[in-house]
């Protein structure tokens, strides 16, 4: 069964309501989020109802702090694919706007969860907050469930690799520190940036390293540098390569932050296509070279190292 994405919570058809629902931001669908979804799945099986996830777009942080630094770990399209792989039947994608932000915790439980979505069960994490001022918590969610007719389960924290709690914050920190392997352990899959290939300045092609250029948009910024990467094309093919994330200080010293990926042994037109680039290993941090020749020499070394790192799956 394919995932159905349902926008909004008002005026839904009967077959769009009901179900066991995992509630949260799911900004990454890391191992902690997966525990919440697993709890919802168990309830769905017991109640013989669909398995659903409730998430928000934009992320509440972007609504309350529009000037915050980029922090996205997944686009809505990526979120849908990850949830489909986990066996989720429905994604209720709620627009986080002034109206939703102003709802009290009680109003959210009554109007959105019970009356709007018709939730039979709500699964949430131990640190859930909801409602204006984030006044709702696990205890109040249980109480509202009893009041409005849905059962509730609260998932305990899941430990990260260092013994702390697995969280989206820890994932972002790992990426900012240039440790995509740690991020992948927390996520249960490699971190990937998805975007449309746009035209660049064609420098890569003239120096023997043609690249597909993708804007970073609102993605969290990994440590700037060179990464071993796997790129998934629009037709499903996966091509190994080497990726650069940064501002290209040697050639432009600019402020345009971008992802550039060179696909190994590949020569096809990708302009306008949507690619998903997994960053698997950091090869080295970003640096400014004294000359273009010095940069090209290092790029050759970087590509060779990326091939070595990707060899088990090459």
Q: Please check whether residues 137 and 97 belong to one and the same domain.
A: yes
Which CATH number belongs to the domain containing residue 134 in this structure?
Answer: 3.40.50.620
Q: What is the pLDDT of residue 140?
A: 97
Could you give phi then psi for residue 258, rounded to 5 degrees? Answer: -145, 165
> Which residues, at least 6 apart from 135, have a Cβ–Cβ distance to it below 8 Å?
104, 105, 129
Sign of the torsion formed by the C-alpha atoms of 219, 220, 222 and 224: positive
Q: Please check whether residues 148 and 51 belong to one and the same domain.
A: yes
Nearest to 71 by CA among 216, 258, 226: 216
| d(C-alpha 268, C-alpha 285), whole Å | 28
Q: What is the pLDDT of residue 163?
A: 62
Q: What is the pLDDT of residue 248?
A: 81
Q: What is the pLDDT of residue 110?
A: 98
Structural domain count of the chain: 2
79 and 168 Cβ atoms separated by less than 8 Å:
no
Cα atoms in the Cβ-side hemisphere of radius 13 Å centred on 172: 15
Q: What is the pLDDT of residue 1?
A: 55
* Residue 112 located in a structural domain: yes
* Residue 174 located in a structural domain: no
Look at residue 174 and give its three-state secondary structure.
helix
Q: What is the pLDDT of residue 224?
A: 97
Q: How many CB atoms lie within 10 A of CB 102?
A: 10
Q: What is the pLDDT of residue 205?
A: 61
Q: What is the DSSP string of 210-268?
A: --EEEE-TTB--PPSEEEEEEEE-TTS-EEEEEEEEE--TTTT--S--EEEEEETT---
Which CATH number belongs to the domain containing residue 306 in this structure?
Answer: 2.40.30.30
Which range of residues forms the domain containing residue 64? 4-155
Lay out the sheet containing 192-196: strands in order across: 192-196, 274-285, 225-232, 238-246, 258-263, 212-215
Task: Tell me the whole-structure pTM to 2 decimals.
Answer: 0.91
Q: Which residues of the chain have pLDDT under 50?
A: 314
Q: What is the pLDDT of residue 209?
A: 82
| d(C-alpha 219, C-alpha 224), whole Å | 13
Q: What is the pLDDT of residue 243?
A: 97
Boundary-marking domain end, from 135, 155, 175: 155
Q: Please check whether residues 122 and 193 belong to one and the same domain.
A: no
27 and 59 Cβ atoms separated by less than 8 Å:
yes
Q: Please check whether residues 213 and 148 belong to one and the same domain.
A: no
Could you give phi then psi for residue 108, rounded to 5 degrees? Answer: -65, -45
Q: Please check whether residues 146 and 188 belong to one and the same domain.
A: no
Q: Please check whether residues 227 and 105 belong to one and the same domain.
A: no
Beta-bridge mates of residue 155: 125
Q: What is the pLDDT of residue 264?
A: 96
Boundary-marking domain end, from 138, 155, 172: 155
Q: What is the pLDDT of residue 207?
A: 62
Q: Max Cα separation, the chain?
A: 70
Q: Please check whether residues 127 and 12 belong to one and the same domain.
A: yes
Q: What is the pLDDT of residue 21?
A: 98
Q: Please check whether residues 150 and 190 belong to one and the same domain.
A: no
């Amino acid at each position: 069964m394919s995932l159905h994405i349902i926008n909004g919570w008002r005026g839904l058809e009967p077959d769009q309501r009901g179900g066991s629902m995992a509630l949260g931001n799911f900004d990454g669908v890391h191992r902690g989020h997966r525990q919440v979804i697993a709890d919802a799945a168990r309830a769905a099986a017991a109640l013989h109802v669909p398995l659903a996830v409730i998430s928000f777009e934009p992320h509440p942080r972007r609504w309350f702090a529009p000037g915050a630094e980029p922090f996205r770990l997944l686009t809505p399209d990526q979120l849908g694919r990850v949830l489909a792989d986990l066996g989720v039947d429905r994604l209720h994608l709620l627009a986080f706007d002034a109206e939703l932000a102003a709802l009290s915790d009680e109003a959210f439980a009554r109007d959105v969860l019970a009356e709007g979505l018709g939730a039979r069960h709500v699964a949430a994490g131990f640190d859930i907050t909801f409602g204006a001022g984030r006044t709702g918590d696990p205890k109040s969610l249980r109480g509202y469930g009893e009041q409005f007719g849905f059962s509730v389960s609260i998932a305990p924290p899941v430990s990260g690799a260092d013994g702390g709690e697995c969280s989206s914050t820890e994932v972002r920190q790992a990426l900012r520190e240039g440790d995509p392997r740690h991020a992948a352990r927390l996520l249960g899959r490699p971190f990937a940036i998805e975007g449309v290939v746009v035209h660049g300045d064609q420098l890569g092609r003239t120096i023997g390293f043609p690249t597909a250029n993708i804007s970073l948009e609102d993605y969290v910024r990994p440590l700037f540098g060179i990464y071993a990467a796997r790129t998934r094309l629009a037709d499903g093919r996966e091509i190994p390569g080497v990726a650069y994330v940064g501002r290209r200080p040697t050639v432009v010293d600019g402020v345009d932050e971008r992802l550039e990926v060179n696909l190994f042994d590949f020569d096809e037109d990708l302009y306008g296509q949507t690619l998903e680039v997994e960053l698997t290993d950091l090869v080295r941090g970003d640096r400014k070279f004294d000359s273009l020749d010095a940069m090209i020499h290092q790029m050759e070394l970087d590509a060779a190292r990326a091939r070595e790192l990707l060899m088990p799956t090459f």
